[in-house]
Structure formats: structure tokens, C-alpha cells
Structure 1
Amino acid sequence: MAEGTRVAHVTRTTKETDIDITIDLDGTGVTDIQTGVPFFDHMLDAFGRHGLFDLKVRAKGDIEVDAHHTVEDCGIVLGQAIAQALGDKRGIVRFGNSFVPMDESLLLAAIDISGRGQLHYAVDLPIQIIGTFDTSLAKEFFIALASNAGLTLHVRSLAGENAHHIIEAAFKAAGRALCQATRIDPRIANVLPSTKGAL
């Protein structure tokens, strides 16, 4: 698939949320995020900008209950959009990794576009709430993203004291790792990067 054509638009409506996401894997990091959860908007903005994805997110959820359904369902829909935009996956690099420092924090994200959606998450957070955002929801987002995009995703904190820095570095690292993994390598433009012939 030629670069510049890997765009997907996915919507999902339930009794809890109404999500509409568009992603261009070959963008320049232009983002337009509105979820009703300000800290999460900031994280998705970081993910898109540092992954160089053009990303538009519109989400309405039952945030009067809490942000859980909105954050998780955005992960589901974003994962589905990534999978759709990847198409047949021919020519992709497949693997990507990124170390991102943010002041005292250092995060690693490593991705294999394996088709086997799974998250391995080792992130220690010193507090549970940032503003009104439950920090455990970062993991819920990455679970949903990995499962629905078909990613093997490792997110690991190597250092950190400030929860905001840790989570933000995690989103930036995941975006940068996914950017690497989704690139088209012209040497294998029509080849599926798998010894078994399937991803």
C-alpha cells in the first residue's frame, strides 16, 4: 500500500460512549482531540504529535460516572482504526521501539505488529489521580489499543517520580514506536514481514 493512502475512519456507539476517530498513519502529527477528559486529550495529542499521525478524536461518554468507559472505548476505536489503516500490512517495518525521557522519567515502548494483540505493562505510578484522571486508566487504554490493533505492546518505566511525566512519556514512547513499526520499507514494499506468511 502506498504511503499517503493509509487513512481510516471508525465510529462506535454504545449505551456508554459515542466515539469517532480518524487516523492517517502517514501524517505530520496534526491532532484535533476532544474527549471531555482534559488530561486524556493531552495524552492523545502527545501520542499523535510524536507518532506523526494525523489524528482526529471526538468522544462523548458517561464521564459523570467516571472517565473509564471513554478512555477504554477510545482505545478500542483507535486500535480498530490503526488496524484498518494498516491494510494488508505488506511492506511495513513491523517492529518499533522508543525510549522517551521526560525530566526524571524514562519510558520504553516496544511494538510488534504481530496480529496477536497483547499488552505487557510495567509502569509504577506514585499517585492514583492526576487532576480528575485516574492514572490506572492509562493501562486500560493501552490494553484496548493493543488488543484491537493487533499489537504486541510493551510499556515499561525505567525511572520516574512524577506521575504526569511518567504517563506522558509512555504515550509519547508508544506513538514513536508505532511510527517506526508502521513505516513502509521500500525494499520489501510488497512483502509481508513474516516467516510464516501471516500477521
Structure 2
Amino acid sequence: MRESTMNRNTGETQLACSVNLDGKGVFDGSTGIGFFDHMLHLLSKHGGFDLNIECKGDLDVDTHHTVEDLGILLGQCLKEALGDKRGIRRYGNFYCPMDEALSRVTLDLSGRGFLVFNVELKREKVGNFETEMLNEFLYAFAINSGTTLHVTTLYGKNDHHIIESIFKALGRALSEACRIEPGSDSIPSTKGIL
């Protein structure tokens, strides 16, 4: 099984995260940020992997430390669960419509963390989730998982719909990239490592 369980404890957050890449898309846990929990549930469901989190953050300050630190930990879990990446497809791409919004996520499990973020949001918050934290979460996830991640919203008016389309597309793109190629036991790189 491609699984990982990790903890991250700082003066600002205490986090535990478990990922099973060959799960059934089950999400369990809470960050204390309702809209963010909804997005993590979508990520897990559309990615087809099980995600379990335990989270205590300094939400009396704001959502920054909780969201960023969970991006760090989730990225580290994904990296560990993938191991040497033998047999994976490596690349993933998905366009996701959500009513009037359309977003595209394209990624490479290259071992080189990088984020290109082409998303414009108008609202300061959706629920109790500060919208500027979308970039922070994706950056932390990309860097710590070693994923080259390109996120683009092609169009959309409703920030809830835009963010939701991004998380669904990220889940689908990760599912594609993490999938084992039938009959393949090689590392998908001419370098021999990822």
C-alpha cells in the first residue's frame, strides 16, 4: 500500500496527516475552517485517495498558519507515500468546470517543487477561509511534495466556484499522475530518479 502518516508540531499548529493513495476517496477530520474542510473533502474524493487529518491551529490569529502548515504536511505525506515513484504515470492534467467557472490544473511529480498560479479572486473570504490562502496552500503543497504545479482559472465570477473547481481539478490531476501504469516497473525519467 502507498501510505504515509506524519505529524507537524510548531508553536502555532499541531497537525497529524495520513494519506492512502490507493484508498476510496474518504476524508476524515477537521481544520476548524469550514470551507477549507469542504475543499479537502473534494480533493480526497476526486483524487480517489483517503485523507485523515487532526488539526489544532491558532485560528484566533487567522487561518494562515493552519492552512500553510497543512499544505506542508500534506505535501510531505504525498512524497513519502509515492516512494521512488516506480511505475507511476508522473504527469496529470484536468480541466474542471464548476457552473460558470473553469479551472485547469497541470502537474508533474518531478521531484522539483514549483508553483505557477494564475488565479484572480475578488473576495477577501469565502466563509471563514481567507482567499489569499489558496496560493499559500498550493505553494506549500507543491514545494514539499516536489510537484511542478500549474494552476489556472480560465474564467469565472463566483470565488466559491473558482476555488472549488481548482481543488476538484487538483484531485483529478493527482489521481492521474499517481496512477500506476499497467505492466510498468520503471521510474518515468531518463535520469532514473524522480
Matched, 1:48 2:59: no
**What's 1:128 paired with?**
124
Matched, 1:184 2:180: yes
The CA RMSD over aligned residues, in Å, is 0.7
Q: Using the alignment, how far apart are the partners of 1:187 and 1:120 within structure 2?
A: 33
Q: Using the alignment, how far apart are the partners of 1:98 and 1:161 within structure 2?
A: 20
**What's 1:73 paired with?**
69
Task: Describe the superposition over 1:16-66 as per-residue Cα deviations: whole angstroms up to 9, x where unpaired.
Answer: 001100010011111112111111101100100110111101111000000
Alpha-carbon distance, 1:9 to partner: 0.4
**What's 2:193 paired with?**
198
**1:33/1:44 contact within 8 Å kept:** no
**Equivalences, count:** 194
Quote the sequence identity (%): 53
**What's 1:58 paired with?**
54
Runs of 4+ with deviation above 3 angstroms: none
Alpha-carbon distance, 1:159 to partner: 1.0
Alpha-carbon distance, 1:186 to partner: 2.0
Could you tell me which runs of 5 or more consecutive residues in structure 1 were left unpaired when the two chains were aligned: none
Q: Using the alignment, how far apart are the partners of 2:174 and 2:156 within structure 1?
A: 22
Give the alignment's TM-score, normalised by structure 2. 0.98
Q: Using the alignment, how far apart are the partners of 1:34 and 1:78 within structure 2?
A: 14
Q: Using the alignment, how far apart are the partners of 2:145 and 2:120 within structure 1?
A: 25
**2:115/2:139 contact within 8 Å kept:** yes
**What's 1:87 paired with?**
83
Alpha-carbon distance, 1:112 to partner: 0.2
Could you tell me which runs of 5 or more consecutive residues in structure 2 were left unpaired when the two chains were aligned: none
Alpha-carbon distance, 1:106 to partner: 0.3
